[in-house]
């Protein structure tokens, strides 16, 4: 029974985007493990508060991720 956990910063993804993540990650798992595993393939999204996630000692917030996605330095 596979469990995939996706950690993201809160307020980065919309509810629709999170639905897409769940659907696409599920499909990727099914491609590998087979269709019979679909009913027991779990995907969950954990949202971490902005500032509680850091890379290289620099806390990140949703605004930083949005800036990166837009091609701007965070």
Strands 42-48 and 53-55: unpaired
Q: For residues 7-25, give the mean pLDDT.
A: 97
pLDDT at 74: 59
d(CA 65, CA 46): 16
Which pTM was predicted?
0.85
- Alpha-carbon separation of residue 53 from 22, 42, 64, 68 (angstroms): 21, 24, 11, 15
**In the predicted model, what is the mean pLDDT of residues 61-72?**
92
Instruction: Tell how many helices (H) and how many strands (E) occur in the chain.
Output: 2, 4
| Distance between CA atoms of residues 35 and 46, nearest Å | 25
């Amino acid at each position: 029974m596979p469990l995939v956990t996706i950690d993201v910063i809160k307020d980065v993804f919309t509810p629709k985007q999170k639905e897409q993540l769940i659907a696409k990650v599920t499909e990727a798992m099914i491609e590998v493990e087979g269709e019979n595993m679909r009913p027991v393939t779990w995907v969950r999204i954990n949202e971490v508060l902005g500032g509680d996630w850091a890379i290289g000692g620099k806390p990140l917030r949703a605004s930083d991720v949005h800036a990166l996605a837009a091609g701007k330095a965070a």
